[in-house]
Amino acid sequence: MAGVWGRRVVVGGWVGVLGLAVVAGWPVGASATAAPAGLDIARSNACLGCHAIDRKLVGPGFAQVAAKYKGDPQAQKRLEAKVRDGGSGVWGVIPMPAHPRMSDADIKTVVQWVLEGAPSK
């Protein structure tokens, strides 16, 4: 009798542990993949040292940039060139530095992300 009860308890314990592992594992996995590629590129190229998402820092907030160019079919190309070559005069006198070492693919992705309003996921 005691033996049967003992096994039930052990089996129940394992199911409980597995269940917990699954529940605890979900949010970790989800947040690891949630950051968009554009945000990763912006982080790793120090864009966020001068740009915030929703307010002006040294440069305009990325959400402001998205609003300004909303519906402009030339914006993607124009802003890719601006990130690569730098420039000033659109938002003020402080120049945007050039980024000659960034790959075209990275520039394309980060500009696309900015024009989408720089979502955090």
114: its two tokens? 């900015």
State which of residues 6, 16, 31, 88 lies at the interface with ligand HEC (CB under 6 A).
88
Residue 94, interface with ligand HEC (CB under 6 A)?
Answer: yes
* 17 counts as binding ligand HEC under rule CB under 6 A: no
* Terminal Cα-to-Cα distance of the chain (whole angstroms): 55
Cα 119 from Cα 104, distance rounded (Å): 21
Is 92 a binder of ligand HEC (CB under 6 A)? yes
Our finding on whether 45 is near ligand HEC (CB under 6 A) is yes
Give the residue, chosen from 50, 76, 84, 112, that forms a contact with ligand HEC under the rule CB under 6 A. Answer: 50
Interface map 61-80 toward ligand HEC (x if CB under 6 A): ----x-------------x-
Rounded CA-CA distance 102/4 in Å is: 66
Q: Which residues bind ligand HEC (CB under 6 A)?
A: 42, 45-47, 49-51, 58-60, 65, 79, 82-83, 87-92, 94, 96-97, 99, 110, 114
